Amino acid sequence: MSLYFALKIIHILSGAVLFGTGAGIAFFMLRAHATRDARTVAEVGRIVVLADFVFTASAVVVQPISGLGLIHLQGWSLTSPWLLAAYGLYVFVGVCWLPVVWIQYRMMKLAEQAAGQGAALPPAYHRLFRWWFALGWPAFAGVLAIYWLMVAKPEF
């Protein structure tokens, strides 16, 4: 197996993990939120926070490393317009994702407190949920745009 092939497989799989974990986390958080049950939100929140750290964070590290290797092996200029657009989108997605990680953790903690008291989810949880939801959409769109750039490699 060539280095190029190995890096390409790693890059594609880490991209799939990044996208798939993000979509899965969003689905499970939305489903838990829809129950309005603090205990359910807390339990799902613990799983989601763990998944984000184990899978998403790992893929976030692997993506640029494998991508830079592929760029080098294919002879692309680091300043090719499609790559500059991909870098910008990657940073944009990260700017959306980093607060989401903190927000998910806070939502989980608020749900745990409410569940421990037998109370409803507090207003602070619902405010955080709105931010979490609002930041998720542009991040999701950004990842889709990066996929398009990687496949199409437009010349602009």
pLDDT tens digit string along 3-44?
999 999 999 999 999 999 999 999 999 999 999 999 999 999
Residue 70 pLDDT greater than 90, yes or no: yes
Cα 46 from Cα 115, distance rounded (Å): 13
Query: What is the CB neighbour count within 10 angstroms for residue 44?
Result: 22
**Domain count for the chain:** 1
For 113-144, letters b (16+ CB in 10 Å) and e give bbbeeeeebeeebeebbeebeebbeebbebbe
| Tokens matching residue 13 | 């799989």
Residue 145, pLDDT > 90, answer yes
Dihedrals phi, psi of 27, to nearest 5 degrees? -60, -50
What is the extent of the structural domain holding 134?
3-152
Reported pTM = 0.91
pLDDT higher than threshold 90 for residue 51: yes
Tokens 């798939």 belong to 20
- The mean of the pLDDT values for the chain is 97
Q: pLDDT at position 11, please? A: 97
* Whether the Cβ atoms of residue 87 and residue 133 lie closer than 8 Å to each other: no
Q: Above 90 in pLDDT, residue 156?
A: no
Instruction: Report the alpha-carbon angle 139-110-142, nearest 5.
Output: 0
Q: Give me 27's structure tokens.
A: 């689905």
